[in-house]
């Protein structure tokens, strides 16, 4: 399936428009090499004071690790992400010494997510972020210490055909649009109002 064209108001690298988050995957496996490659990209994300608070957990489809991560998704996500080639959970370190709070842990982990998403795209894979996680269950199942916070999960794989999805998901299987720059960018100070996406 090819993505419908997205357009930008200013010329940008095509990867930013081409990357999107499909839910349909083919059965083609994702290799450990590919997962470690996307995580290598994530490793090079910037972070406050270079604290690198991100920590990653992955499982390849067909392994017990995948099944464990899958069981930590909410049923809606489990329904389609079970066909992904791999799952990644992103956690972040909230404090390194028990006292000093790392206030940008989530922001930095988000940067690592974008890096891995774009690296997946450049490998010909697709990556789909998920916050629909059983956040209460995940720390115990993954054996997390108290200062490691689950941020989000990612389904990665080879893009499949929308027809493989449940009916209600097929119409949503298309690249989304964005708010115009004029709604989100302000020269110096805030003007107007907060506009929500349609
Ligand atoms: C942090 C985060 C959480 C998300 N959670 C979910 C989710 O639980 N389930 C889902 O189907 N999509 C989820 N998404 C995908 C978003 O809906 C999607 O990125 C957004 O609509 C923009 O579309 P695009 O990624 O195709 O450009 C999530 C994305 C992000 C970044």
Can you list the domains of the chain with their CATH numbers?
31-161 (3.40.109.10)
Distances (CA, A) of 169 to 79, 85, 92: 10, 19, 31
Tens place of pLDDT per residue across the chain (198 aa): 454 579 999 999 999 999 999 999 999 999 999 999 999 999 999 999 999 999 999 999 999 999 999 999 999 999 999 999 999 999 999 999 877 788 999 999 999 999 999 999 999 999 999 999 999 999 999 999 999 999 999 999 999 999 999 999 999 999 999 999 999 999 999 988 898 888
Residue having the nearest C-alpha atom to atom 27 of ligand 1: 20
Question: How far is it, in rounded angstroms, from Cα 70 to Cα 20?
Answer: 21
Q: Is the CB of 21 under 6 A from ligand 1?
A: yes
- Distance from the CA of 99 to the center of ligand 1, in angstroms? 33
Residue having the nearest C-alpha atom to atom 18 of ligand 1: 21
């Amino acid at each position: 399936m090819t993505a419908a064209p997205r357009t930008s108001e200013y010329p940008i690298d095509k990867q930013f428009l081409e990357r999107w988050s499909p839910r349909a995957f083919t059965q083609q496996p994702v290799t450990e090499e590919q997962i470690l490659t996307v995580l290598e990209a994530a490793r090079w994300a910037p972070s406050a004071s270079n604290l690198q608070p991100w920590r990653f957990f992955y499982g390849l489809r067909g392994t017990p690790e995948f099944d464990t991560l899958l069981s930590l998704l909410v049923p809606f996500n489990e329904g389609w992400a079970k066909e992904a080639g791999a799952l990644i959970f992103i956690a972040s370190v909230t404090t390194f010494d028990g006292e000093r709070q790392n206030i940008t842990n989530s922001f930095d982990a988000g940067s690592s997510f974008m890096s891995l998403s774009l690296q997946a795209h450049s490998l010909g894979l697709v990556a789909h972020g998920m916050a629909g996680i059983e956040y209460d269950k995940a720390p115990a199942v993954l054996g997390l210490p108290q200062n490691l916070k689950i941020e989000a999960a990612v389904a990665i794989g080879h893009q499949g055909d929308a027809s493989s999805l449940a009916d209600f998901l097929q119409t949503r299987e298309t690249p989304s649009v964005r708010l115009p720059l004029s709604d989100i960018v302000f020269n110096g100070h805030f003007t107007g109002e907060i506009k929500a996406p349609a």
